[in-house]
Structures are given as structure tokens and as C-alpha cells.
Structure 1
Amino acid sequence: MRPVRIALLIAALGAAQAQAGVFDDEEARRQIADHRIKTEARFDQQSRAQLELSAQLQRQADEIARLNGLIETLSYELETAKKRQQDFYLDLDTRLRKFETPAQAAADAPAEGAAPARAAADPARETQEYEAALNQFKAAKYKEAAAGFSAFVQKYPDGQLAPNAQYWLGNAWYAQRDCKKAIEAQTQVTSRYAESAKAPDAWLAIATCQQELGNANAARRALEAVVAGYPKSPAAEAARERLKKK
């Protein structure tokens, strides 16, 4: 009987070991499966996060592109507005000179019986030099235009076109972003040529420069000077509108 018991015991032990082996394999497979599921979950979460980040970056890129386009559009519109304003004043300058020339010629004609006046400067030559400087300004050659207008007013300080040249000298300095020199040039218009058609525009230009320099009080005084001194001029109307906004 003893050998039989021993054999049964050995068989039982083998079965127990076999069952334990089965349990160990199942536990290992379960752990591997759990690990795989957790890993896949982490990868899935990371993928979603990357997709969301990519979407955010794309939205930001689209917004930046939209803003850049808006900036370019506004810059173009501003430059176009400046060009239209410049062309308007240039055209106005040309038209005014057509009216001023006959009037000036009549004023310069000697009265009957008066002593002959000294020889006047050549009007054609004067106009030619003025037009040369003005064409430089039209071509956006502001440095050359400033030099041309400066030479003109020195050569013809009392000439018919001197107020215009002095005014455009100020504009040429302003176009070069030199507000101090622009103010100096326009101040000559408002003082020396205060009765000219360019004086109210010069005051308006001074106000613009003072505002850009951060001198709000000086800008206001210039605008008020336009309204007070030249109330019916187009510049005065523009000055009133600007004063309303201050």
C-alpha cells in the first residue's frame, strides 16, 4: 500500500505544480494585456494632445496670416490716402498759380507816369526752377526737392512763387520725417508770407508736426491760429474738425 500512496502523492504534487504553472501563465498574460491596454491608452491620449496642439498652432498661424493681411491692407490704404492728399495739393498749387500769375502781373505793372521800376527777374526762368523742384517732390525725391526749394526761396525771396516754394520746402522736410525743420520752414510761410494762400495750409502742417512731436498744446494753438486768422479757408474747416476731436 505504501508504494501506491507514494505514487498518488507524487501525482498530486505534479498536478498541483501543473495547475500552479497554468495560473502563473494566465497571470503573466493578464499583466501583459493590462500593460498593453494602459500603453495604448497613453499613446491615444498623447496623440489626441498632439492633434489638439497642431490644431491650435494652425489656428494661430491662420490668425497671424489674417492680421498680416490686415496690416498690409491698412498700410496700403494709408499710403494711398497720403498720395491722394499730396496729388490734391499739387494740383491745387498748379491751379492757384494760374490765377495768381495774371493778378501778380497787373500788380507789378508800373502806374502811369511813375518812374520805371528796376528790371524784374525772368518769370519764365523762375517758374522753370520752381517746377524743377516740384517735380522732384512729385517723384518722391524729397531730399533733392528740399534742396531745390531752399535754393529757390534764397534766390527769389520776394518772388511770386516764393510762398509756394517755402510751403513745399516744409512738406519736403516732413516727408523726410524731420518735423523740426518742417516747422521752421512752415513758420516762415506763416510769418513772412502771412497774406499768401499757403499760410493757412502752413499752419495746418505745423499742427500736424507738433502733434507728431507730442506737443499737444502747440498743435492746438496752431489749429486755433488757422481758424482765427483764415476762418473761411479750407484749412480752417479741417482745423475745426481736428479741434473737435481733441
Structure 2
Amino acid sequence: MKRHSQFPLLIVAAAMLGGCASTPPEADPVVQKLSEMDGRLLRIERVLANQSLLDLSQRIEASQNEVRVLRGQLEELQHAATKSQDQQRELYGDLDKRLAMVEGGASAGVLAAGAQVGGLPIPQGDDRANYQAAFDLLKDGKYPEAAAAFKQFLVTFPNSQLLDNAQYWLGESHYVTKQYQDALRAFRTVIEKYPDSRKLPDALLKIGYCNYELKNWGEARAALDQVVKQYSDTTAGRLARERLAKMQSEGR
């Protein structure tokens, strides 16, 4: 009896195994589910990869734009610095030529006698207008008028942002007419009252020049040495080195 009862069970089991073995892989639900998940994962990876490339591209573009802006700003600063240096060299050259003319025959007394020296060049003008007018007098070789204009400027506009420049050019007005003591006082005032002025290197250089003309060799060398040490890369630094070399050749 037992043998007969087990026989049908064996037939059913065999049929089930035969059915599983005959099912193709692509029809297997498990395989289908795995394939679907694999496809979804692949799509997600592609989306993430594309997004990363987009972010990277945007960051690169932003960096390139920033570099272009910074390069433009640098070029503007370099242009402004070059223009300022050229103007300063032109002014030094102009003043040197005028000084040579004075040394060649024209005297300060003759210049002063023929000058109409007054107060402010533009009595109703503001500080900038009068500063520019006084500076134009200096460039035109009208040194006594320029000196008077700068002196009056310092009195009339005590709060002007141009005080240090006016004080410096007052010194130049005296220096070019060989009034070295007056020039020395004016340049020293720049050093003492305006220690943050951009005219500091030039004022210190001219202190050395004035002392050289007054034959104060030690003070001249000290001032010129200071210019070389503190402002070596400027026009004043170059001129200080040249004057020191001249002093050495003269045995000063």
C-alpha cells in the first residue's frame, strides 16, 4: 500500500522539476526583476554623470570669467602706473631744463622783478582749481608766482587733500631758483607733517639735493641713502643712486 501511495507524489515532483528546468531565463520573474533594476541603476548613473559634467563646466566657465575680469583690472592698473611714471619723468625733465636755464644766466632776482606776484590765482575758485593754477604757473616757469600761489593755497585751504602736494611744489618753486634754504624747509615740512604722502620719496630726495647744494655733505648722503633703502624701485630711488655716485666720484 505504501508503495502505491508514494508513486503519484513522485510523478508530481518530477513534473514540477521538469517545469522549472524548462522555463527560459528571460521569462524568469527574478531575472526580469534584476534586469529592470540594472537598467534603472544605469540610467541613474548616466544622469549623475551628466550633472557632474554640467557642474564642472559651469565652474570652469565662472573661473574663466573671473580670470578675464582680473586680467582687465591688472592691465588698467599697469596702464595707470605707467602713465603716472611717464608724467613724473616728464616733469622732472622739464624742471631740470628750466633749472639749467636759470643756472645759465637768468637770475632769480630778474624773474622776481618782472613778476606780478599776488595771492590765489583764482580767488573765487576751490582748492583743486587753485592748486592746478599754481601748478601751471610752475610748469610755465613762473616760479615766484607759483611759490606765492602755493603759499597762499596752504593758508586758504588748510583742510584740502592736496596740502602735501602743494607743500612739495612750494619747495620745488624755491629749489629751481636756487633758494635752497627755503626749499629745504619746505621739503622737510612734507616729511614732518605728511608722513603718509606719496610725495615723501621725492621730498626726501630733494632734501638730499638741497643739502648737496649747501655743501652739507653728511646730511645730503644720509637723505639720499634713505631714499635708496626705502624707495629703491622708484624714480626717486634711481636719481638718489645717481647723485650718490656723483658724490663718490667727487670725493664727497
TM-score (normalizing by structure 1): 0.48
- The answer to which structure, 1 or 2, has the higher relative contact order (CA under 8 A, 6+ apart) is 2
TM-score (normalizing by structure 2): 0.47
